[in-house]
Structure 1
Amino acid sequence: MAVEPVVYGASERPPRGDYARAGADYTCAQDFARYTSADHDTYRRLYERQSALLPGLASDAFIAALPSLGAQDRIPRFEEINERLYRATRWEIVAVPGLIPEVPFFTLLANRKFPVTDWIRTPEEFDYIVEPDIFHDLFGHVPLLFNPVFADYVQRYGQGGLKAQGLGACELLSRLYWYTIEFGLIRQSDGLRAYGAGILSSAGELAYSVQSPAPQRLPLQLERTMRTRYKIDTYQQTYFVIDSFEQLFDMTAADFAPVYERVRALPEYAADQRDSA
């Protein structure tokens, strides 16, 4: 049976990606020969620009792990990354044609496999792209999978996602993913830093999230996070801050079923709604 693409947010444009290439679990082979010289140049320029912005803004753990991606001047081969990644944390990356449904996504994470979109944005989309491409997934997500504690958190999130699907709570759990794995901030001894992939792969939001006085930054609290909606097409107006990756891992050890019940009985927060002083 053919797999179907996933519609992302409220976008009217159908998702790109050749889903006919995907197997039943939505994974496919990375067709490395398909990349053009322009594709490799786009990756090189994105990597060069983004890595130059990291000092003082990205978490120390991310900066330390980034060289593990390997090639900077071209799109890396997934098998080359996997040789290092599996040795480090027993994770591997797998190619997917684009966004995939919740259950296959959670299943891959629960089995320590991270889905990476294998196509790259066009030069015209250099500064902004709505849906994740190979640069976002590789540069933003994969380095911290070399961190044992964070890697264990992502696996535990996938396991929790499968449970949430059975409880009809995927939307609530998706907010935790959004505000940690995608747009999380961490407080280091020398100040606030970003660890979320959506921030780390964005030239504009990296400085904004850490330095701008505009957004509110709240200590990560499970129920407050799950009650907070989010927007996909603007900088975040609310960020949640952790003190350590151990905090994330320990938080997901709890049974979320009663948390979901409590959250469903409470009003939601708009993405830009501020807490009272």
Structure 2
Amino acid sequence: MNQETHVVDAPPPGIAGDWTVAQDWQHYTPEEHATWDTLFARQAKLLPGRASNAWLRGLDVLKLSKPGIPDFAELSDRLMALTGWQVVAVPGLVPDDVFFDHMANRRFVAGNFIRRPDQLDYLQEPDVFHDVFGHVPMLADPVFADYLAAYGRGGQRALGLDALKYLGRLYWYTVEFGLIAEPEGLRIYGSGIVSSYAESRFALDDPSPNRIAFDIARVMRTDYRIDDFQQNYFVIPSFDELLRVTVESDFAPLYEALKAQPDISVGVVQSDDIVLSHGTQAHARRGAA
């Protein structure tokens, strides 16, 4: 199932109108299952004390520690009983309208391919490990599950408001690279962090990035990088608060206000930010050298 690219502009022949495909679990090779097991073992050892309580509970209740790439049908049965979500396989990145429709209807799209053994530390495209290990444990949490469904509905509205840039940043800095303040300290819940061995340590331990209290307008103004560690992480106080802000915000006037303001560059701290830890930006300077 390994391919060089999984970015597609039109539905490949033979797939459903909603871009879903059969996971085709029986066709994974022993090497592909072994790659999942290697990645899983490395992250499962690292994440206790780093990942959020909700993510760790999801990993346990969904029985993701079972060897080999999970079967989406079995995973969906467990998720459906918990939060009404299911996991559906897609051939790669799908168009925005398809993505939002699935999410609004509690269907999480996951790539059905896995990275090669020589790509353990970095893969630009989201594969089954990123999508399932990174994202799916959080779907077992009722509050976060509601947040993602609300985000999907918001995405459908944003399509007609020329606002996908702003909504994409909200997804990036919460679902993909979010931190949460728990009684024990800062913890990871973003899938881009929990599925990355290096960023799982960098996000909490490295002095380089800024860690800033979450503010929805601030997040939506902030640029991000897809090819390096983040230099700003935004910290939510709770999943209940994240859901409340998302549901109660009137996004149409918010988008218009954002369009009248300049974007905020990667790594910048604003004077009105509530900064939990002010980064040195040393990593950003090393990357630019």
Calculate the TM-score normalised by the size of structure 2. Answer: 0.88
Calculate the TM-score normalised by the size of structure 1. Answer: 0.92
Q: How does 1:62-141 map to 2 (within 5 A)?
A: 62-67=55-60, 68-141=62-135
- Classify the secondary structure of the residue corresponding to 1:40: helix
The Cα offsets for residues 105-143 of structure 1, whole Å up to 9 and x where unpaired, read as 000000000001000001111111111000000000000
What is residue 180 of structure 2 aligned with on the other side?
186
Answer yes or no: is the 8 Å Cα contact 1:44–1:72 preserved in 2: no
What is residue 16 of structure 2 aligned with on the other side?
23
- Quick one: which amino acid aligns to residue 174 of structure 2? T
- Classify the secondary structure of the residue corresponding to 2:233: strand
Q: Which moved more, 1:132-141 or 1:14-23?
A: 14-23
Aligned residue among 36, 55, 58 for 2:48? 55
What fraction of aligned residue pairs are identical, expressed as a percent? 46
1:44 aligns with 2:37: yes
**CA distance in 1 between partners of 2:113 and 2:5 (Å):** 15
- Quick one: which amino acid aligns to residue 73 of structure 2? E
- Quick one: which amino acid aligns to residue 236 of structure 1? Q
What is residue 149 of structure 2 aligned with on the other side?
155
- Quick one: which amino acid aligns to residue 20 of structure 2? T
Answer yes or no: is the 8 Å Cα contact 2:7–2:94 preserved in 1: no
Structure 1 unaligned segments of length 5 or more: list them.
1-12
**CA distance in 2 between partners of 1:197 and 1:21 (Å):** 30
Answer yes or no: is the 8 Å Cα contact 1:47–1:72 preserved in 2: no
**CA distance in 2 between partners of 1:257 and 1:209 (Å):** 32
What is residue 255 of structure 2 aligned with on the other side?
260
Deviation (angstroms), 1:215: 0.2
**CA distance in 1 between partners of 2:5 and 2:133 (Å):** 24
**CA distance in 2 between partners of 1:30 and 1:51 (Å):** 24
Deviation (angstroms), 1:250: 0.5
Answer yes or no: is the 8 Å Cα contact 2:59–2:65 preserved in 1: no
**CA distance in 1 between partners of 2:180 and 2:16 (Å):** 37
- Quick one: which amino acid aligns to residue 271 of structure 1? V
Answer yes or no: is the 8 Å Cα contact 1:181–1:197 preserved in 2: yes
- Quick one: which amino acid aligns to residue 88 of structure 1? L
Aligned residue among 218, 223, 226 for 1:224? 218
Deviation (angstroms), 1:196: 0.2
Answer yes or no: is the 8 Å Cα contact 1:183–1:239 preserved in 2: yes
Q: How does 1:158-177 map to 2 (within 5 A)?
A: 158-177=152-171
Structure 2 unaligned segments of length 5 or more: list them.
272-277, 279-289
- Classify the secondary structure of the residue corresponding to 2:160: helix
**CA distance in 1 between partners of 2:113 and 2:73 (Å):** 16
**CA distance in 2 between partners of 1:275 and 1:20 (Å):** 49
